[in-house]
Structure 1
């Protein structure tokens, strides 16, 4: 079947013109690093890169079909759907709303704009950019899509940075200038849905704008379907009461935070000879793959180093790591003897995508890969001990917008299983926590002078609340509250962190002794 699928890809490649290949490269520019894209001279090379990144396979050819749909290759789609191996797979003709959308609305919109521009319009656009972009680049035989990429490199264009483009199109093609303005207005009203919607069968099944957004999501797809539910009877289900209790905890840092009956919950032991190792991976320089530098990340690194040293951890630092170097750093950590340690911590400061973080070589490390390195199957001395990940990275390019309070509805899910579990065993993926700086599909924000909203709030609240005996999930809930109240100067950009966990006990760090 794999050979059959490669034949399908060869069929697509042979049907692509040079211009159509450039269209596909532009549409994939959010999925692959710029350095790799610059090496692509054929459809075969593009498909190989997508397969290497696990973005395209026989089991999931949806990205290929999405690219062909956007570029209006209807006849080719029908031809592929009739292919035996695609029919066997059953994904190619899956209803559109059930397929995961990999190409952003922004990228598709720019492609649609390019389809409306003639050669003379392109010359006029280049003329208007003469004092903005270098003459050398403009004199090259750039297509409009390639010009868009150059504008993105110079920070003249982005999903939330369409001012320059709108002014240019208003002069060259007023109707498209109005179209850009319409797109911007529609983008302001996009409803944010916290959960991935791959499992919903129709729009009627999607959560409405009144659905409650949980502050703590559970390790879902990254945990191969493991789901946990947490029902705290101590929390009021009345929205107004809940709002009052949360706000009181925010307004005064000396106020008591809501508790979940900690006396009823078992705690991980924190009585070892040493607290454990804290590995900090600090990726700053992405210039090798065309993604620039992450100004402000060193401030986060220093804050994390200081607070985890204060908590009694041994600090290991790795800087500017490629994909392979990230995995090696974690494997080296896994190879250590953690028998005398209470837990292990890994902090990663980097660029990211939906399902993982990006190395400085532009290559993706999936969250599942990060977790697997510290699995008790690989490191027996971490059996039953908390494995804590703190991830500062984007998980998409969208920006969250502020919303007004709503009356939330409640749905209760009950999970049952008849499978017996041996008394003396634990699931392989138990005892993990992944504290993400943002929810899936959205960006997280970094101040060049003060560090990131998430890491700075995390470090502040650890110092504030550990001495008061607060458990880690309560501290992360306070981090959620603090970051959710932040916004940019315009008041339009918001961020919502997301702790995901399979912890079986509470994590309470012993208060460090005063100096």
Structure 2
């Protein structure tokens, strides 16, 4: 690292106060685990972590510029980074250029707009949901938001509780959230326009541009949804608490999507193989696709049967090689050699996110690969008690897979 770059970071760090550091940490939550950020006490340490994450560097200053712009330190932006408010405003108009999510921008803006009296009202109204939290009496609104996220009171796709709280005394901020949600819906509507449902067969319209063919989804049921769910193990210490909630979530979603859904519990190794083989030999001619979920412990390229033992937090994963035939998509809870995490009370981070996204986005006709990408982003940016998880998609699909939602 160049001396000039280190000098730049030092000068910027020394000009930042405690509240500004809190804001920078809040904006960095999508890239750095909460546990790591909590241990940071000065801006220099934060910048070092961001360098490790390749978010900033001698030839990569945009995220640093954006952070300073977001906390209104235009003086530092101008004096040390040779930029300006006008330049950043132009840059941030470019689609995909902003690194700070719309969600974090929204929450930060709300925190800035709330008066001290407003903050106290919010805390009072949250005493029930947050009664077990470690929230201090003098906690800032950003800290309140963090606790709300930890307790899953708010998240990017669900701000209902926050809207209900603000409606009583700051209806103007409630409207800001409404505008944010409207913008998200508009984004998904544009996705629908890019991927039309069908192409007209009328000669005068045959010249219309087609943006992607779609797999047919016209039978009822559309296919089998097979769930193999290993909950109880011979060694009780390895029981997968929370996996029943995952099974229920998947059954709820795929029954809604008109799949013949069946779940098998606690299968031994040979029985897992036999069950999958049994379904592979069924008559699928009057069906559109086949879906299979396998919930278990695992290690590289292996699935743990219910008489075996293994690491508590490692879930099963299929082989990483791309399938040798087309029309196959594999979603994995985590990339190779990393853990995936499961709540004992609410289920796995990956499966619960997948089911929530499918319920939200299938009615908006988003294709499955795009939904899984949304799941990847949500899981990857989620703080899981100080840890991170990165799911993986492997696909040889040749068309868009869009699930038909019954009217």
TM-score range for the pair, normalised by the shorter chain length? 0.5 to 0.7
Per-residue displacement from partner, 1:376-429 (whole Å, max 9, x unpaired)? xxxxxxxxxxxxxxx99989x996475589xxxxxxxxxxxxxxxxxxxxxxxx
Distance 1:8 1:184 in 2: 38
Corresponding residue for residue 75 of structure 2:
75
Corresponding residue for residue 142 of structure 2:
145
Distance 1:477 1:300 in 2: 31
Change over 3 Å in CA distance of 1:400–1:2 after alignment to 2: farther
Tell me the CA shift for residue 293 of structure 1. Answer: 7.7
Distance 1:358 1:56 in 2: 26
Change over 3 Å in CA distance of 1:321–1:238 after alignment to 2: farther
> Which of 91, 94, 108 matches 1:95?
91
8 Å CA contact 1:8–1:80 kept in 2: the answer is yes
Distance 1:168 1:254 in 2: 42
Tell me the CA shift for residue 82 of structure 1. Answer: 3.1
Normalized against structure 2, the TM-score is what?
0.57
Are 2:133 and 1:183 aligned?
Answer: no
Tell me the CA shift for residue 111 of structure 1. Answer: 0.2
Distance 1:254 1:173 in 2: 48
Distance 2:159 2:53 in 1: 30
Corresponding residue for residue 64 of structure 2:
64
Tell me the CA shift for residue 360 of structure 1. Answer: 3.9
Distance 1:254 1:129 in 2: 44
Distance 1:27 1:100 in 2: 15
Tell me the CA shift for residue 30 of structure 1. Answer: 1.8
Per-residue displacement from partner, 1:10-33 (whole Å, max 9, x unpaired)? 222111111111111111112211
Distance 1:211 1:437 in 2: 12
8 Å CA contact 1:308–1:315 kept in 2: the answer is no
8 Å CA contact 1:24–1:67 kept in 2: the answer is yes
> What secondary structure, in the 3-state scheme, does the structure 2 residue paired with 1:137 have?
coil
Corresponding residue for residue 333 of structure 2:
350
8 Å CA contact 1:51–1:57 kept in 2: the answer is yes
- Structure 1 unpaired stretches of 5+: 84-90, 195-208, 215-236, 256-281, 283-291, 335-341, 363-390, 406-434, 447-454, 459-471, 492-515
Tell me the CA shift for residue 191 of structure 1. Answer: 4.9
- Over aligned residues, Cα RMSD in angstroms? 5.5
Tell me the CA shift for residue 141 of structure 1. Answer: 2.7
Corresponding residue for residue 50 of structure 2:
50
How many residue pairs match? The answer is 307
Query: What are the equivalent positions in structure 2 for 1:199-278 lying under 5 Å apart?
Result: 210-212=193-195, 238=206, 249-252=216-219
Normalized against structure 1, the TM-score is what?
0.46
Distance 1:300 1:149 in 2: 38
8 Å CA contact 1:106–1:159 kept in 2: the answer is yes
> What secondary structure, in the 3-state scheme, does the structure 1 residue paired with 2:134 have?
helix
Tell me the CA shift for residue 153 of structure 1. Answer: 1.4
Tell me the CA shift for residue 251 of structure 1. Answer: 1.6
Change over 3 Å in CA distance of 1:445–1:58 after alignment to 2: closer
Tell me the CA shift for residue 103 of structure 1. Answer: 1.2
- Structure 2 unpaired stretches of 5+: 198-204, 223-229, 231-240, 251-262, 281-299, 305-309, 342-349, 380-390
Per-residue displacement from partner, 1:151-208 (whole Å, max 9, x unpaired)? 11111101221111011112232322233233333332225677xxxxxxxxxxxxxx
> Which of 154, 168, 171 matches 1:171?
168
Per-residue displacement from partner, 1:256-287 (whole Å, max 9, x unpaired)? xxxxxxxxxxxxxxxxxxxxxxxxxx9xxxxx
